[in-house]
Structure 1
Amino acid sequence: MFGIKIFTDWDISENDTTPEEIYLNRRKFLGNVGKLGGNILALSTLSNLLNPKEVFSANSSSNESISQNENNLTDLRDKITSEVLTSSYNNFYEFGTNKSDISFLAKKLPVENWKIKVEGLVHEPRILDVDKIIQAMPLEQRVYRLRCVETWSAIIPWSGFPLRELIKMSSPLSTARYIKFKTFVDPNIAPGQKNRFWEPWPYVEGLSMSEAMHNLAFVAVGMYGHQLNPQNGAPIRLVVPWKYGFKSIKSIDVIEFVKDRPNTFWQTVSPLEYDFWANVEPDVPYAKWDQRFEVLLGKTKKEKTMLYNGYAAQVAKLYS
């Protein structure tokens, strides 16, 4: 049934999550996402994401709340990483390198009426309207670990749909072996793109087709029960939880299906430090950091990094 949370073997247990005091305010979410679609269909589709079988605000006193036996996400809502942290501590190099500045600078990003170009090895190049994508997709909520290569981490509730659904919509040719993603280029609103040190823009990332078709690969259009904030990648971004966070490209502008493995942004900037795959592997030093340990945002205690960020049982076979 649409919108119901179905538990899988990769769901995060309650003991592995961290506190969050404001989670999934249903009425606020429905008010905000009305801006995305601009019509009854869009609002109806998105409202199903947070129906009475889902989770609601910790402050909710309505009859819509559900019992713990029906869905134990009612407890999980109070234990995720605080949105205050995940919305104010951000990497988005298009807007600069100071994490605390990104939430302010990214407000200039015009996220309404966003379009995505689909090109390369496809049956027909096209331009997709993000609002219409949202209307068409089977939206769901997933709580994923996010692991930054800088050795900090977070646990975030995302709203969106499996990447493979967007691939099906794009209708790639059988010769496509990789997917190349690009974000926007506009130095007038993104001051970081004026910095020649980080060239070449745009930011580029990629996945193999087998990775992209995996059930864990996710396209997010919301988080914490509302549409994405600009600093978090609005209006549409990737979430690939078994890889370092920089693989989860924000504000997707172009999707290109290609035969050969694409060079990514960080590979181009620093080829000796970054590779294409960027899987979370604690025993493999990556870039400038020892990856054996990590610290959850809002915490001080170091935790051992898990292979593939805790999703080894699901994705290890991709690399065997």
Structure 2
Amino acid sequence: MAHRWTNTLTHADVTPQAAFLNRRQVMAGLAGVGLAGLARPAAAQEALEPNTWEDITSYNNYYEFGTRKEDPARYAHTLVTEPWSVTIDGLVDKPGEYDFKDIMSEMTVEERIYRFRCVEAWSMVVPWNGFELADLLNMAGVQEGAKYVAFETAYRPDEMPGVQFPILEWPYREGLRLDEAMHPLTIMATGIYDKPIPNQNGAPLRLVVPWKYGFKSIKSIVRITISDVEPPTSWNMSAPREYGFYSNVNPNVDHPRWSQASERQIGGGLFAKRIPTLMFNGYEEEVGGLYDGMDLKEFY
């Protein structure tokens, strides 16, 4: 289990949104850093500003609402997010259906900024609000012998027009190894810019794992299952040659159809300058030890 980070900051240390959007020099030193989270190594810093609310909420992959980037913002208003509950089952001491409001009342929600990236060599700097997934799993009580955590998105054909098309096998599924899930950088996001997370971004609860590619960030979670076997994941099931279970950001392992060695930031336009992609998205110091001894070309 990863060592838990202890918060020494106060509310006064959190940057207001207006200042947030205009502080290039600050972001040059804090790109991808949680203001109430873990600092990144100096070598990982890039001169990146957080994306605007419009960028973050209008350029999305959420195939349950369509395959075009603008489809989720156009159609996701149909998703009913209140009330909401999450079933936690499998190898836990307290399985059951957890009401989202009850979960939130138990958690300390903090602001963190992550450089969240999409699959096609684009990146986005997102100021997420959320809580550590480890806190939720500890609340349910992880049992001895547990090795993996599986997640499942809501499947509501009446509210999700995209599920009528067999793009993937619905409902959408994702998974992590238990040590990845318990790492303090792994969060359950509930907001952006200190506002409730919009439907198109995965309301009311989504996974954010900042050293993995964007398709690992499952949205609108309704089930979490703890098990001792590796769970199936949607993109790995659909195209196993292209999408492995781990989905770690690794510039040394190309996708079969494109290079992953560089990226452009969303919002910078078609001719935005490409920058080198960092190993584990710049979090190598924090998470590299999770994969010691593994062949990352085999376990991609």
Identity of aligned residues (%): 41
Q: 1:291 aligns with which of 248, 260, 278?
A: 260
Decide whether the 8 Å contact of 1:5 with 1:140 is kept in 2. no
Residue 167 of structure 1 pairs with residue 127 of structure 2? no
Q: CA deviation at 1:149?
A: 1.6
1:250 and 1:197, CA in 2 relative to 1: closer, same or farther beyond 3 A? closer
Residue 55 of structure 1 pairs with residue 15 of structure 2? yes
The DSSP-based 3-state class of the residue aligned with 2:70 is helix
Q: Whole-Å Cα distance in 1 between the matches of residues 7 and 115 of structure 2? A: 17
Question: Match of 2:278?
Answer: 306
Please identify runs of 4+ aligned residues in structure 1 that moved more than 4 A.
4-7
Question: Match of 1:318?
Answer: 290
Decide whether the 8 Å contact of 1:274 with 1:287 is kept in 2. no
Decide whether the 8 Å contact of 1:145 with 1:156 is kept in 2. yes
Decide whether the 8 Å contact of 1:149 with 1:289 is kept in 2. no
Give ranges in structure 1 of 5+ residues lacking alignment: 8-48, 61-67
Deviations 1:181-226 (A, max 9, x none): 000111111111111232x211100001110111111111011120
The DSSP-based 3-state class of the residue aligned with 1:87 is helix
Question: Match of 2:114?
Answer: 144
Q: Whole-Å Cα distance in 2 between the matches of residues 135 and 287 of structure 1? A: 44
Deviations 1:13-41 (A, max 9, x none): xxxxxxxxxxxxxxxxxxxxxxxxxxxxx
Deviations 1:70-117 (A, max 9, x none): xx97xxxx9311111111010001111011121011111111111000
Q: Whole-Å Cα distance in 2 between the matches of residues 204 and 79 of structure 1? A: 31
Decide whether the 8 Å contact of 1:5 with 1:54 is kept in 2. no
Deviations 1:275-315 (A, max 9, x none): 10000000101253210110001121111100001100100
Q: CA deviation at 1:124?
A: 3.0
The DSSP-based 3-state class of the residue aligned with 2:203 is coil
Decide whether the 8 Å contact of 2:210 with 2:281 is kept in 1. yes
Decide whether the 8 Å contact of 2:116 with 2:124 is kept in 1. yes
Kindly tell me the number of residue pairs found equivalent between the two proteins.
Answer: 260
Give ranges in structure 2 of 5+ residues lacking alignment: 1-5, 21-25, 36-47, 293-300
Q: 1:278 aligns with which of 232, 240, 247?
A: 247
Deviations 1:168-190 (A, max 9, x none): 01212111100000001111111
The DSSP-based 3-state class of the residue aligned with 2:80 is coil
Note the aligned Cα RMSD (angstroms): 2.1
1:134 and 1:302, CA in 2 relative to 1: closer, same or farther beyond 3 A? same
Q: CA deviation at 1:5?
A: 6.8
Question: Match of 1:132?
Answer: 102
Which one is further off, 286-295 or 97-106? 286-295
Question: How high is the TM-score relative to the length of structure 1?
Answer: 0.77
